[in-house]
Structure formats: C-alpha cells, structure tokens
Structure 1
Amino acid sequence: MAVIDARFSGGHLEVTTAPLPHDEAEQMVEVTLPMNVALLAPDEARRLAIALIEAASDAEHPTVPDWP
C-alpha cells in the first residue's frame, strides 16, 4: 500500500489492491480519498497514473502564450 500526503485534499490518499466485490479472484486497484473510495481495473489505474503524471508536468511547466 502507498500512502500519499495530499495537503489540499483534506488528508492523505491510499493506493492498494483489493478484490472485486463480486469476484474475489479478480484484483482491482483501490484508491481511498478523504470521504471517498474509487475501485479501478488495472488498465484504468494505469490510465489514471498517466493522466496524473501529465497534469503534474503541465502544472510544473505551464505553456506561455505567444502573445499577451
């Protein structure tokens, strides 16, 4: 399990694996947010990770418009 401090979200985020509620053999990725839980299929978790990395990069290096 990974625990990420997210000071602006009201607490911390936890990322772990969990079985699918109706099929114990199927493992999912569980993201626990303050006041909410998201259960993601492995491919969905990978897409979320990519989107988070892209958004973080955009936030760190915003594009400057060519003209004001």
Structure 2
Amino acid sequence: MIAVEALVKTYGSFTAVDGVSLSVEPGEIHGFLGPNGAGKTTTIRIIAGLLKPSSGRITINGHDLAQAPEA
C-alpha cells in the first residue's frame, strides 16, 4: 500500500504541492489528472523518492520514506 498524508512541496514562496493525501491499495490503479502546473509530476517524483517533501508523510507497505528511503 502507498499512503500519502498532507504532502507539501514548496520552492521558496511558490507552493507546488499543497496538502495532497491519498492511498493506493495493492491491485488498485489510479489516474492522476490536473491542469499544467498543478503539481502532478512533483507529487509523483516525491512518491518515487526523487524529491524530498517540504512536509507531509509517505509510507509504502508501512515503511516511512523519510526513515527508510529504500522502501
């Protein structure tokens, strides 16, 4: 399971992702839709571990990415 809780990513005074929360259970398929500049790619990059969030929490199968990035 992937769980994202209150995810925020800022670049200086610009907020790219603001309070995103979601969960994906095994076997589920989700689409990620939104206009240009909505933060879709930034959110996926944070979930993939390519970027660090400004705040919020991501867990994959119960492992917190901030504590165990290899999860």
Larger Rg: 1
Q: Larger relative CO (CA 8 A, sep 6+): 1 or 2?
A: 2
Higher normalized helix content (fraction of residues) = 1
